[in-house]
Structure 1
Amino acid sequence: MLAACLRRVSRSIRILRGQTLSLKSGGSVDSWRSRDCRQFNMSSVSPPGGSWLRDILEDQSTQTYYIEYDRFFSNHLTHGIIAIEKLGGDKDRVNRFVEHYKNHGKLEPPNHPRHSDESTDAEPATDDELHKLLGQRKLYYKIRNRFRVILKEHGSAEEMLREEFPKLSRGLVCSAAHGLIHTGYGYSVRCSSTVTEGLAYLHHSCKPLIFDEKNPDNDISHFGKGACDILTVLAELKKDENLRKYMEDEAVKLRQSDWYSGGFQYRVAALVGKGDDLMKYAYKIKVPVIQSCQDEDGLAVALANWLLDQAIAVFALSEIKNDFFLLHGVTAAWSLRQIIPLLKHPDAVDALRTFTCALLAVYVSQGCPDLTNKPEIPQTDVTASDWQEIIDKALARDTDEHIYKLVQVCHDTWREKNGSDGAALYIHAAQMCIDHDLHF
């Protein structure tokens, strides 16, 4: 039985006491609903106030360390640096994290034998080369250097993202969404070089969502106009044994191919190849802001806000506490939220639809955990001092960078909503992340 701890509020998830929902019965709740499309300005997070953060990002960029290590693990150094700064860490605290990450990780320099065909000074990929390299997981620096040229051609990171991100957004789940996360974190502090690194990684590893675009049932006009709350849809997914069996069987085949990755990415890659099935479930979801928001730009942002809340809720309520890949769903949703205001409306909605399918795929890949881990703190009791206590605990530790990122995203979301909507859920997610080891 799922304790339905959410009640209907503007754009967000609130706490509802005393009701229950059975995932097995596929019941419905009035939670996860929104009454309007008022925006909270998540993109207002200020760029670095001083040059020290930008200098550190440049020093620790992919010019110094390759975007991956040990064949397929992603380099998170940049994300951790930015998250700690956003939590209030000063230059010394950020540098302490950098040293800890380098000493406890396996970062590889660009000239590591594993990258013998790579060079930071590689000639930028031509149009033809860029096309052929899409999703091939090789020659990262040729791709990155091409995006540096593209940045100059567009004149700004904003214009580059507006034009180039939609070309890659169908593949945003690639490499456990690290390309998206790298891009979003870079833009959140207005670091153009980090943005180019992220876009290059998206291109390098792209595994697009595959579906029949000619099928009228898949028309994007249906997105968000279903009849079910997301909990009901997740309950249906949990019962879909055929989809899970397909995922496991296809993951075995992918392991035997020349594509080397981890078990999670094999499972997700199998599922994004079944985009028609994922879209069938995605289109069952009712997104309330679609009914209440008439302004296109406001609608895209409201959709992104709603989707971020769903990612936080799935992570926070999961019976598997601090699930690594559900955590990735949260930081990826926040990263996408940074980019959405820059995109043309059709491109923004298409990216949000893809991310919804990706979030469903991640949930299935992690075994469809029950969502029973409800918050205990009353929503009205959440204060700035409560958050500061959690932030201080996080910053006092030398720990996995994902801990800083999850706390930072939940705190930013709480703060940007003026401490109201979803407060109990956000602090519950952050506290759980602090109190439990990551579950892989």
Structure 2
Amino acid sequence: MGSAWSGVSTETKSQIVPPIEKVTADSTDPRYRRLIHLLRLNHHEHAIYYHGLKYHNHLAYILVSAYMFGASVDQLNDIYDKESKELEQWTDSPEEIDPDNWRAHFGAKEYQRAYLHFFEDETIRTNATVWSFLTDRCVPKDGPSYRDNQLLHGLVEGVGHPLIHLGYALEIEDKGLAMEALTMAATSYQNVHEFVDNPSPPQTFLRITDMREIFTRIYDDDTFDAICERYGCGHPDRVLEEAPPYMLFDSYEIQKETMSTTFQTQVEAATLMFIASHKENNPQYDFFLAHAVTAAHALRIVLPQLSFQQAWHVLRSHMVLSTMLYISQCRPNIKDDLVRNIDTTGKDWDYIRKQALEGEHRYDSHYVKVLRSFYEFEKLYGKGESDSDPKYDLYLKAAVKFADTFKGWTGFGTSNEPSLDTKMSNGSN
């Protein structure tokens, strides 16, 4: 990475995970030309939010994921034609955004077009970068300075979409996607950052270094029953308003020396929460829990661009996001054997690519990008050392299980009974 618009700060970058393999721009490659053309077409034609500002435009995610899986020009065209049908055109914002008021409308999605114009204009006018806005280096002349990295700490707002978008932008070095990511960060900004900002959170009697332990403790804590009873599944935005304010956030301990291990355990925990929390013999996959997985994939791309201090905060933000999602989906029982016992005989990553590009759900953006996330996790961490390891071959098993048994998304709160294996469901163990 290192384009004028994407260059990182001069602070020492973390070495938590190695940088991703750079996607080489190749104007002679028809697949690459088509990808960039379709991304630009989407950028100019379709709003980031649609259907009453409730839904996110996911077209870029499936296009890039399919491209990375080897999609042909025709397949990319088909994806665009299919997925763009429900998107909406841009509409004007109530007013323009400028350097003096650019923080005034944080969290207001109706300003999406104005924020996009602002970020695009400022990167040209002032040579500002993505990181200038994320880390508070862009302030009006003689204006107040900011030191809490507002947007960086809020990347997981909006169920992680700003972080996910930024990951794709950096992976293929696309400025349009980066400006969209900043727009998402600004217009999604709410209150998650409040649980991430403090570099020295209050000490608690607990010291938890594994996100999975947080899930276990929350699962055993009946205090959280009221959230599911009141709202059902599918309302992560309610969690921070309704749940006990501590939620074990302050007990999560991340040390600089063990950040690599911390991130790996977060990836594993997010994967298992998503793939192994359904009822026995009834595979169901939760739409919201999928975002903990795809946000972890985005985090894998973003982390090498951050300093250790910045990475500390963003790792915590992914923990907060994952915990919110876990609680909002009624705290399902995570059972490792549901993925550990998957037989992958005759099924490898070529099989997964075929399912992503040619299978029944090839036009489902979340389906394709979850499979891609699992693939990237194995590239990063490998299979493990031996089949006696309970997490051996975790990511291929997760991908095969998901590809073979996915029938549609659950978790939207349309039924009184949770679809996953929770204490409120009849299939609880």
Same fold flag (TM > 0.5): yes
* 2:215 pairs with 1:234: yes
Measure, in 1, the Cα distance between the counterparts of 2:38 and 2:175: 14
Pairwise CA distance, 1:273: 4.0
1:423–1:389 Cα change, 3 Å: farther
SS in 1 for 2:103: helix
Measure, in 2, the Cα distance between the counterparts of 1:276 and 1:134: 26
**TM value normalised by structure 2:** 0.74
| Contact map agreement 1:147 1:199 (CA 8 A) in 2 | yes
1:426–1:38 Cα change, 3 Å: farther
Letter in 2 for 1:426: Y
Letter in 1 for 2:87: L
Pairwise CA distance, 1:51: 3.3
- The equivalent residue for 2:99 is 127
Measure, in 2, the Cα distance between the counterparts of 1:292 and 1:134: 35
| Contact map agreement 1:410 1:426 (CA 8 A) in 2 | yes
Measure, in 1, the Cα distance between the counterparts of 2:379 and 2:166: 22
Measure, in 1, the Cα distance between the counterparts of 2:69 and 2:39: 16
| Contact map agreement 1:42 1:413 (CA 8 A) in 2 | no
- The equivalent residue for 1:360 is 323
Which whole-Å deviations, capped at 9, do the CAs of 1:157-195 have from their partners, x for residues lacking one? Answer: 566656579321333333322222122112211111101
Measure, in 2, the Cα distance between the counterparts of 1:42 and 1:213: 24
Which of the numbers 248, 251, 254 marks the counterpart of 1:281? 248
Q: Unaligned regions of 5+ residues in structure 1, if any?
A: 1-36, 253-262, 294-298
* 2:58 pairs with 1:81: no
Deviates more, 1:42-51 or 1:361-370: 42-51
SS in 1 for 2:192: coil
| Contact map agreement 1:324 1:439 (CA 8 A) in 2 | yes
Pairwise CA distance, 1:329: 0.9
Within a 5 Å distance, the mapping from 1:343-358 to structure 2 comes to: 343-358=306-321
Measure, in 1, the Cα distance between the counterparts of 2:351 and 2:197: 52
Letter in 1 for 2:341: E
Measure, in 2, the Cα distance between the counterparts of 1:168 and 1:382: 45
Within a 5 Å distance, the mapping from 1:316-395 to structure 2 comes to: 316-319=275-278, 321-372=284-335, 373-377=338-342, 386-395=348-357
Measure, in 1, the Cα distance between the counterparts of 2:394 and 2:308: 29
- The equivalent residue for 2:388 is none
| Contact map agreement 1:244 1:364 (CA 8 A) in 2 | no
Which of the numbers 7, 21, 25 marks the counterpart of 1:44? 21
Q: Percent of aligned pairs with the same residue?
A: 19
Measure, in 1, the Cα distance between the counterparts of 2:300 and 2:18: 10
1:430–1:219 Cα change, 3 Å: same
> Where in structure 1 do 4 or more consecutive aligned residues deviate above 6 Å?
212-215
Which whole-Å deviations, capped at 9, do the CAs of 1:85-112 have from their partners, x for residues lacking one? Answer: 1111122211111112124xx21111xx
RMSD: 3.4
Pairwise CA distance, 1:364: 0.5
Deviates more, 1:201-210 or 1:190-199: 201-210
- The equivalent residue for 1:102 is 84
* 2:273 pairs with 1:314: yes
Letter in 2 for 1:432: K
**TM value normalised by structure 1:** 0.73
Which of the numbers 127, 135, 142 marks the counterpart of 2:114? 142
- The equivalent residue for 1:439 is 410
Which of the numbers 69, 85, 93 marks the counterpart of 1:118? 93
Which of the numbers 347, 357, 372 marks the counterpart of 1:408? 372
Pairwise CA distance, 1:308: 2.4
Measure, in 1, the Cα distance between the counterparts of 2:285 and 2:196: 36
Deviates more, 1:424-433 or 1:154-163: 154-163
Measure, in 1, the Cα distance between the counterparts of 2:378 and 2:113: 38
Measure, in 2, the Cα distance between the counterparts of 1:391 and 1:248: 40
| Contact map agreement 1:230 1:286 (CA 8 A) in 2 | no
Q: Unaligned regions of 5+ residues in structure 2, if any?
A: 1-13, 27-31, 138-147, 386-390, 412-429
Which of the numbers 156, 167, 176 marks the counterpart of 1:193? 176
Measure, in 2, the Cα distance between the counterparts of 1:214 and 1:420: 34
Equivalent residues, number? 365
Letter in 2 for 1:175: G
| Contact map agreement 2:168 2:298 (CA 8 A) in 1 | yes
SS in 1 for 2:272: helix
Which whole-Å deviations, capped at 9, do the CAs of 1:307-350 have from their partners, x for residues lacking one? Answer: 22321121122126321111111101211222222223222211
Which of the numbers 185, 188, 205 marks the counterpart of 2:188? 205
1:407–1:92 Cα change, 3 Å: same
Measure, in 2, the Cα distance between the counterparts of 1:281 and 1:53: 43
Measure, in 1, the Cα distance between the counterparts of 2:191 and 2:20: 26
Measure, in 1, the Cα distance between the counterparts of 2:345 and 2:392: 6
- The equivalent residue for 2:415 is none
Measure, in 2, the Cα distance between the counterparts of 1:302 and 1:85: 30
